[in-house]
Structure 1
Amino acid sequence: MEVLFKVIRQQHNSSPVLQTYLLEVEPGNTILDCLNRIKWEQDGTLAYRKNCRNTICGSCAMRINGRSALACKENVGSEISRLQKMRSPAFSDNTIPEITIAPLGNMPVIKDLVVDMSSFWNNLEAVTPYVSTAARQVPEREFLQTPQERSLLDQTGNCIMCGACYSECNAREVNSDFVGPHALAKAYRMVADSRDQDTENRLENYNEGTKGVWGCTRCLYCDSVCPMEVAPLEQITKIKQEILTRKQASDGRSIRHRKVLVELVKEGGWIDERKFGLHVVGNYFRDLRGLLSLAPLGLRMIAKGKFPLSFESSEGTQQVRSLIEAVQETVEARG
């Protein structure tokens, strides 16, 4: 069958252009197979990365029809089927199906589908992604782990550093300080590693401002595009839980935000917005500067009739409270 490939091409510091290539392909051909044919048969100037061709190295990550994926893993048939289910204008019974290929996001383009991954690697290095045994004496034998201890590292150990999650990260797009889901997934691997002796310092670093776990917007894009099912958001959530069990609500606004939210939902079934701002930003009336910062917004809300003067608990509050307490007890028991 014929497929029209639309490739976003770009030189460094120049505007992208769309170039089309028509290929006769089989449904089982991977996107990487098709790019190879384009380069070998039609346009030798096309630039992209590749290596193993077997979903191991992560080199061929790119955006395929708007989502970051591995070109060696996705095939023509599955992409056309996905477009058909989405009722995309790129596919109809009367036209040649189209597949659009673009470079990864959140990283500057070097040429065509090749991006500069310096920020990706620098942010990984920022979380110190290696086991620290500095506090131990050098042993006569290696540091051994039980099968149970090692199993905690399996999921994060599957990461192949392809950059798909980083490319789709909304938090990274608006906050250049955020280290990214790939780095924090690796960070949890270090937190969970029984051989590591620097857990407390790590958690302090990951708790810092919005460059660590609190910068995550929980959009789930990282989980949805990960080709290895590492689930970066799940790992970020685990780090947050480790931090929350060690911190008091007075230790920082990010900590209060999470704890106050849970407290208010337990209390009334949903969030009492009046208390939420005062407790989180005003630190339970202890932070005068925070309280003053709320005044302009509060006055505007009152003027427009948007400030709730009373609060009514939701129906089923007791049931909500019981569910939250059951989850908390389960987490504590596992911890």
Structure 2
Amino acid sequence: MQVIFKIKRQTLRQPSHEQTYTLDIEPGLTVLDALNQIKWYHDGTLAFRKNCRNTICGSCAMQINGRAALACQNSIRQELAQAIAPDTITIAPMGNMPVIRDLVVDMQGFWQNLGAVDPYVSAPARQLGEGEFLQSPRDREKLNQAGNCILCGACYSDCNAREVNPAFVGPHALAKAYRVLADSRDQARGDRLEAYNNVQSGVWGCTRCFNCNTVCPMDVAPLDRISQIKGAILETKTEDNTVAASALDRPLRHRLVLINLVKEGGWIDERKFGLRVLGNGFRDWRGLGSLIPLGARMLGRGKFPFRFHPSPARGVIRPLIEAVQSWRKGGSRVKS
């Protein structure tokens, strides 16, 4: 069948342009097969990365039809089914990384951010001399999903948080961070949680857009791993469940206030939420001041919540939350 490939081409620090190639190609072949045909028979100047061709190495990650994907993974037929224009597939370099040439991007920042989370089992745990450091099948199973990451860069490419916040390390790094955090052999859990508990670069920099989960070719679900790290931080900071929200960092206070308000009213009382999180219960005057422009805009648009109506199901919701909290604490009753 005849397929049109529109490829975004660019050289370092130069404006990009779109180039169109029309191929007669079998729909069962992959996008990488099509790129090879263009490279070998039509335009030898086209630059892209490839290696294994078996969804193992992650080298051929690029944006296909507007999302990050591996060129070797989906067939042309599958990509056409998702395309906006009939018989047309658009291809561009990955996002959030400088373009070196055509579909080849500079991944230096990607690797630096991975190293920033120290994604290795702690040094004391590795000082074993001769022998093996065995794990139980149950402990090893905890690492399987996060361990499937092939570091292709797809999640990093489509991460909205990276786009607006250059300090954010990226979902790939935090997925690897969770893999080490869940490793029973690691001996630096406390230090790791402190390092990941950061508003800008750590887990609280995530905007929860779900893009990383959507584009991950290996079903690592980076957002889920980030949420698990958040849960571990929250449990560590409030492990006796008596710590006041005012004593916590803003990200942790955000989570605890949200849970407590849902327990109180069945859903969130927006009036109290801002005051308790940003204003820290009238303790943070700068935070309170930041609420004034938002409140003014809400008033101007008639959206300021003067009243709060508790959920009719709050009597059911509170026991459910407490049951989950109790289960996560190993069966001990949680104080409200």
Give the match's secondary structure for 2:330: helix
Give distance in 2, aligned partners of 1:319 and 1:158: 39
Give the structure 2 partner of residue 275 of structure 1.
Answer: 272
Give the structure 2 partner of residue 80 of structure 1.
Answer: 80
Give distance in 2, aligned partners of 1:293 and 1:162: 39
Give the match's secondary structure for 2:123: coil
Give a deviation string over 1:32-65, Cα, whole Å, max 9, x none: 0000000000000000000011111000000111
Task: Report matched runs for 1:183-222 at 5 Å.
Answer: 183-222=173-212
Give the match's secondary structure for 1:105: coil
User: How many angstroms does 1:78 deviate by?
Assistant: 0.9
Give a deviation string over 1:197-226, Cα, whole Å, max 9, x none: 111011001002221100111111101111
1:266 counterpart = 2:244: no
Give the structure 2 partner of residue 23 of structure 1.
Answer: 23
Contact 2:142 2:182 in 1 (8 A): yes
Contact 2:161 2:168 in 1 (8 A): yes
TM-score (norm 2): 0.91
Give the structure 1 partner of residue 241 of structure 2.
Answer: none
1:101 counterpart = 2:91: yes
Change (3 A) 1:299 1:80: closer
Give the structure 2 partner of residue 127 of structure 1.
Answer: 117
Task: Report matched runs for 1:169-318 at 5 Å.
Answer: 169-248=159-238, 249=245, 250-298=247-295, 301=298, 306-318=303-315
Give distance in 1, aligned partners of 2:285 and 2:63: 47
Give the match's secondary structure for 1:6: strand
User: How many angstroms does 1:328 deviate by?
Assistant: 2.4
Give the structure 2 partner of residue 322 of structure 1.
Answer: 319
Give the structure 2 partner of residue 94 of structure 1.
Answer: none
> Which shifted more, 204-213 or 140-149?
140-149
Q: Which amino acid aligns with 2:191?
A: N
- Identity fraction in percent: 62
Contact 1:133 1:195 in 2 (8 A): no
Give distance in 2, aligned partners of 1:290 and 1:334: 37
TM-score (norm 1): 0.92
Contact 1:6 1:99 in 2 (8 A): yes
Contact 2:148 2:220 in 1 (8 A): yes
Contact 1:61 1:70 in 2 (8 A): yes
Give the match's secondary structure for 2:318: helix
Give a deviation string over 1:137-171, Cα, whole Å, max 9, x none: 64443322111111111111111000000001001
Task: Count matched residues.
Answer: 325
The Cα RMSD (Å) is: 1.9
Give distance in 2, aligned partners of 1:304 and 1:13: 43
Give distance in 2, aligned partners of 1:321 and 1:36: 58
Contact 1:274 1:308 in 2 (8 A): yes
Change (3 A) 1:136 1:4: closer
Change (3 A) 1:237 1:140: same
User: How many angstroms does 1:182 deviate by?
Assistant: 0.2
1:115 counterpart = 2:112: no
